Amino acid sequence: SYELTQPPSVSVSPGQTATITCSGDKLGDKYTCWYQQKPGQSPVLVIYQESKRPSGIPERFSGSYSGNTATLTISGTQAMDEADYYCQAWDSSTVVFGGGTKLTVL
C-alpha cells in the first residue's frame, strides 16, 4: 500500500519559518493536501492541490513540491500555529494520510 512519510516532530521559534515535509513514491504525480489539527478539534484543510489555500487560511501557510517530497511552509510562525499537521494524497482513487507531524512553537 502507498505510504506518506512525515517527521514526527518539528520545532520552531515564534516569528521563524517552519517547514514540514511529506515524502512518498512518485508524489509529484499526485495532488498533495495539508491539514492542521489542534488538540480536541477536527482537522482543517490548510493547503490543497499542493499550493492553494482555502478561504480564511492565512497567507503565511504555503505549499510546494520538489522531487518526491511535498513541503508545508509556515512563514512568521505564531503560537496559534502549534498543532499536528497531516499531509494527504490520492493513490488509485483512494485517500492516504501521512503519519502526522507535531509542530511545537517555542
* Contact set for other proteins, span 55-94 (CB under 8 A): 86, 88, 90, 93-94
- Contact between 48 and other proteins per CB under 8 A: yes
Give whichever of 37 and 64 is closer to other proteins, judged by the CB atom.
37
SS3 18: strand
At its nearest, how many Å lie between other proteins and the CB of residue 47?
A: 10
**Cα–Cα distance between 10 and 88 in angstroms, integer?**
18
Of residues 15 and 58, the one with the C-beta less far from other proteins? 58
Using DSSP's 3-state secondary structure scheme, residue 13 falls into coil
Sheet containing strand 18-23, strands side by side: 18-23, 69-74, 61-66
Element (H, E) at 64: strand 61-66
- Least Å from the CB of residue 16 to other proteins: 26
Closer residue to other proteins in complex, CB, 65/97: 97
DSSP 3-state of 29: helix
> Of 32 and 71, which has the nearer Cβ to other proteins?
32
Q: Out of 33, 72, 83, 103, name the contact with other proteins by CB under 8 A.
A: 33
